[in-house]
Amino acid sequence: MRAISQDALGGPEVLKLVEVDRPEPGPTEVLVRVLAAGVNPTDWKTRATGGLLRTPPPFTLGWDVAGVVEAVGLGTTLYKPGDEVFGMLRYPQGNGAYAEYVSAPARHFARKPAGLDHVHAGAIPLAALTAWQALVDTAEVRAGSRVLVHAAAGGVGHFAVQIAKARGAHVIGTASAAKHDLLRDLGADELIDYRTEDFTERVRDVDAVLDTIGGDYGPRSLLTLREGGTLVSLALSLLAQDLDRQAAERGVRSEPMLVEPDHSAMRALAALSEAGRLRAEVAAVMPLSDAAKAHELGESGRTTGKIVLTVPE
């Protein structure tokens, strides 16, 4: 099969289209013919550095998958060949979505809603699961909660706005002014232009903050939380321990997190999509062979939402 691989860490130019052996599904696994693979910031960070595990090349990037079940392993009952599915490969250990086929545990996937095309399905898993696990599982956002989402127009952020809104929360987002109309359309109640305003001067007594940026956003976000509130940070850093101390002093929680494959949450996201309450904003669609160009575009910071690679049949 064809796949995108790299023999060295570095810039987008290290990504090459190669021929590799097609995987076989093991017990409780499915082999999925990939039709679309979402591109996420962690992809280009892993390409350049080896990622959280400092994985040495060669490897194939990608965790977001939408496609069709080609074969099933021993003991698999959830799916049959021909079923359309979408899901996330194990993060950060597993990868390989930039390929014609992937093999992974069946419960890393959910059935793709019939009304959702593969491109938009492929844009959802990693980013939307991150938002779900941060807001629903970790911060326990519910009706009446006040939620602050940083980088609200980004891949994770725009899903977080929709998920929080679907839970009945009051949603505040930080984003450049040019992206405010999109975020209002997605359900944001209040918007702050981070280029001209300091969110700490406007936001108080929120129940949850989702920090996708890192740096000083974590400590500053603590100032916006009510007592008992939760800051969920996706920017794992050496500051985490001190952030925990600062949070404890203020009577709030600081929770760094990594996303996990999650069959139950994928089904919940599918249900939101079917109900018209969750959509992926797709900035660009490119063929698998243009993976390097997709990374260049993503790293430019000029996109809103997700970039998706398609895999021709």
Q: How far apart are CA 284 and CA 12, in angstroms?
A: 17
Residue 265 maps to a domain: no
Q: What burial letters (b/e) apply to 96-111, b meaning 16+ CB within 10 Å?
A: bbbbbbbbbbbbbbbb
Each residue of 164-178: pLDDT tens digit?
Answer: 999 999 999 999 999
CA-nearest of 81, 133, 73 to 266 is: 133
Q: How far apart are CA 275 and CA 260, in angstroms?
A: 24
Mean pLDDT within 25-35: 98
Provide the percentage of residues in the chain whose pLDDT is more than 90: 91
Q: How far apart are CA 159 and CA 290, in angstroms?
A: 26
pLDDT category of residue 53 using cuts at 50, 70 and 90: confident
**In the predicted structure, residue 217 carries a pLDDT above the cut 80:** yes
Mean pLDDT within 121-143: 98
Quick one: pLDDT at residue 133? 98
pLDDT category of residue 239 using cuts at 50, 70 and 90: low
Residue 173 maps to a domain: yes
Pair 217, 166 in one domain: yes
Pair 119, 132 in one domain: no
Provide the percentage of residues in the chain whose pLDDT is more than 70: 98
What CATH number does residue 182 fall under? Answer: 3.40.50.720
Residue 62 maps to a domain: yes
Mean pLDDT rounded to a whole number for the chain: 95
Specify the number of domains making up the chain.
2
pLDDT category of residue 144 using cuts at 50, 70 and 90: very high
Pair 80, 162 in one domain: no
**Residue 161 token pair:** 């706005």
What CATH number does residue 32 fall under? Answer: 3.90.180.10
Lowest model confidence (mean pLDDT) among 2-16, 145-159, 166-180, 294-308: 294-308
**In the predicted structure, residue 310 carries a pLDDT above the cut 60:** yes
Pair 21, 137 in one domain: no
Quick one: pLDDT at residue 236? 75
Pair 163, 117 in one domain: no
Quick one: pLDDT at residue 252? 98
Pair 101, 213 in one domain: no
Quick one: pLDDT at residue 95? 77
Pair 131, 120 in one domain: no
Quick one: pLDDT at residue 251? 97
**In the predicted structure, residue 5 carries a pLDDT above the cut 60:** yes
Q: How far apart are CA 91 and CA 198, in angstroms?
A: 34
The string of DSSP letters for the chain reads -EEEEBSSSSSGGG-EEEE-PPP---TTEEEEEEEEEEE-HHHHHHHHH-TTTTPPSSB----EEEEEEEEE-TT--S--TT-EEEEE--TTT----SBSEEEEEGGGEEEPPTTS-HHHHHTSHHHHHHHHIIIIIIS---TT-EEEETTTTSHHHHHHHHHHHHTT-EEEEE--GGGHHHHHHHT-SEEE-TTT--HHHH--SEEEEEESS-TTHHHHHHTTEEEEEEEEES---TTHHHHHHHHHHHT-EEEE------HHHHHHHHHHHHTTS----EEEEEEGGGHHHHHHHHHHT--SSEEEEE---
Write the CA distances from 24 to 74, 90, 261, 312, integer angstroms.
11, 17, 20, 20
Quick one: pLDDT at residue 237? 63
Q: How far apart are CA 94 and CA 56, in angstroms?
A: 13
Residue 52 maps to a domain: yes
Residue 144 maps to a domain: yes
Q: What is the pTM of this model?
A: 0.96
What range does the domain containing 73 cover?
Answer: 2-124+280-310
Pair 239, 287 in one domain: no
Quick one: pLDDT at residue 89? 97
Q: How far apart are CA 139 and CA 159, in angstroms?
A: 15
Mean pLDDT within 135-147: 98
Pair 240, 168 in one domain: yes
Each residue of 72-123: pLDDT tens digit?
Answer: 999 999 999 999 999 999 999 877 999 999 999 999 999 999 999 999 999 9
Quick one: pLDDT at residue 93? 86
**In the predicted structure, residue 241 carries a pLDDT above the cut 90:** no
**In the predicted structure, residue 226 carries a pLDDT above the cut 80:** yes
Pair 142, 247 in one domain: yes
Pair 120, 133 in one domain: no
Mean pLDDT within 236-250: 80
Residue 248 maps to a domain: yes
Residue 236 maps to a domain: yes
Pair 133, 111 in one domain: no
Residue 269 maps to a domain: no
Each residue of 190-206: pLDDT tens digit?
Answer: 999 999 999 999 999 99
